């Protein structure tokens, strides 16, 4: 017997979830034939190759703790599933290259490695186990972030330095956040924070904040002439802030129990158009107007064109795009 199965994932970050697996005789593997054949591999602390495909004689993956090697695999496989479904449902995109072909994920990279990354050359995502091998970087927003690097590479191709690098990073934060809100899972209710579950700072604070990026101590809230000299994970702040303002508007707001307070540089009030429309505008701009060298000024133009295409050049949505960029000093 060989077939597509629905197994159980006992994840660390997303609770108990359905995981698509493949049964072959009496053995199951973490192979998702319903999403381009995405596979999840165990590097078992190695740093090269693909390690071993997760395989076992039952269809329950992980125990919700890092004691089981399959727990991080369950999170990573779930992240790949939900991200695939997000791109399909929100944009009609069929995988990273829109060709129906899945990527693969590798977990347990290195020893106490505190990062996760996308690599174009392997067409794969890789996750470290975090501090003390106890906080794998496999939360849903991080998985969505990494897989979205593959989408950016295969669309606009934003160069990973200067202002285009900040836009590349922000694109991953924006769609990673879209994935988290789309999950429809009581453990992932959705927020405008990045990495709030992986305890990367050791004190429970998130890695990044979209309502006011400078809360992380390094990210830019507003465009300035030298923003392109910052690390791409800091220059991304301008676009993350734009996306928050466009979605939710300026000022104080509580969403799913999280308090936000988003400022504007000029004291203007921005009224949000909702996250779903903001995501559509960003995706259309990324896939139609952005190029490898798009900078912040080009991003303003590209998103205005995208909003014009989707909602009309004189629409409230296009006006909100202009207002949100102006509020972050992209004029």
Residue 38 is among the residues annotated as catalytic for this protein: no
Q: How far is the CB of 46 from Ca ion (least distance, A)?
A: 29
> Interface with Ca ion includes 210 (CB under 5 A)?
no
Nearer to Zn ion, 158 or 281 (CB): 158
> Interface with Ca ion includes 216 (CB under 5 A)?
no
Q: How far is the CB of 318 from Ca ion (least distance, A)?
A: 28
Residue 233 is among the residues annotated as catalytic for this protein: yes
Q: How far is the CB of 274 from Zn ion (least distance, A)?
A: 25
**Residue 141 binding partner per list Ca ion, Zn ion, ligand ASN, none, with a CB distance cut-off of 5 to 8 Å that depends on partner kind:** Ca ion
Q: How far is the CB of 169 from Zn ion (least distance, A)?
A: 5
Which stretch in 163-171, 185-193, 269-277, 322-330 sits in contact with Ca ion by CB under 5 A?
Answer: 185-193
Catalytic residue selected from 38, 108, 146, 317: 146
**Residue 193 binding partner per list ligand ASN, Ca ion, Zn ion, none, with a CB distance cut-off of 5 to 8 Å that depends on partner kind:** Ca ion
> Interface with Zn ion includes 148 (CB under 5 A)?
no
> Interface with Ca ion includes 211 (CB under 5 A)?
no
Within 95-154, the residues that bind Ca ion by CB under 5 A are: 141
Catalytic residue selected from 149, 233, 248, 317: 233
What are 144's two structure tokens? 């969505």
Catalytic (active-site) positions: 146, 233
């Amino acid at each position: 017997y060989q077939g597509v199965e629905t197994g159980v994932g006992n994840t660390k970050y997303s609770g108990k979830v359905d995981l698509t697996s493949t049964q072959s005789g009496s053995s199951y593997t973490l192979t998702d034939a319903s999403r381009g054949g995405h596979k999840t591999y165990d590097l078992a602390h190695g740093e090269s190759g693909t390690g071993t495909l997760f395989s076992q004689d039952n269809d329950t993956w992980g125990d919700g703790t890092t004691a089981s090697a399959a727990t991080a695999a369950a999170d990573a496989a779930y992240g790949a599933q939900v991200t695939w479904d997000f791109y399909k449902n929100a944009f009609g995109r069929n995988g990273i290259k829109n060709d129906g072909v899945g990527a693969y994920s590798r977990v347990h990279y290195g020893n106490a490695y505190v990062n996760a990354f996308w690599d174009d050359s392997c067409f794969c995502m890789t996750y470290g186990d975090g501090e003390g091998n106890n906080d794998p970087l496999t939360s849903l927003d991080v998985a969505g972030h990494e897989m979205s690097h593959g989408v950016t590479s295969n669309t606009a191709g934003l160069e990973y330095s200067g202002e285009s690098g900040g836009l590349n990073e922000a694109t991953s934060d924006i769609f990673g956040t879209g994935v988290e809100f789309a999950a429809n899972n009581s453990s992932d209710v959705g927020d405008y924070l990045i990495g709030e579950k992986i305890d990367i700072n050791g004190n429970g604070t998130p890695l990044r904040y979209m309502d006011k990026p400078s809360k992380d101590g390094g990210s830019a809230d507003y465009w300035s002439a030298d923003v392109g000299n910052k690390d791409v994970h800091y220059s991304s702040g301008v676009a993350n802030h734009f996306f928050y303002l466009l979605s939710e508007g300026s000022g104080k707001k509580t969403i799913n129990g999280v308090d936000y307070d988003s400022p504007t540089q000029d004291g203007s009030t921005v009224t949000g158009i909702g996250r779903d429309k903001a995501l559509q505008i960003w995706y259309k701009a990324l896939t139609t107007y952005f190029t490898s060298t798009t900078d912040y000024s080009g991003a303003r133009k590209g998103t205005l064109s995208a909003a014009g295409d989707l909602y009309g050049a004189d629409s409230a949505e296009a006006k909100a795009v202009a207002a949100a960029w102006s509020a972050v000093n992209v004029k």
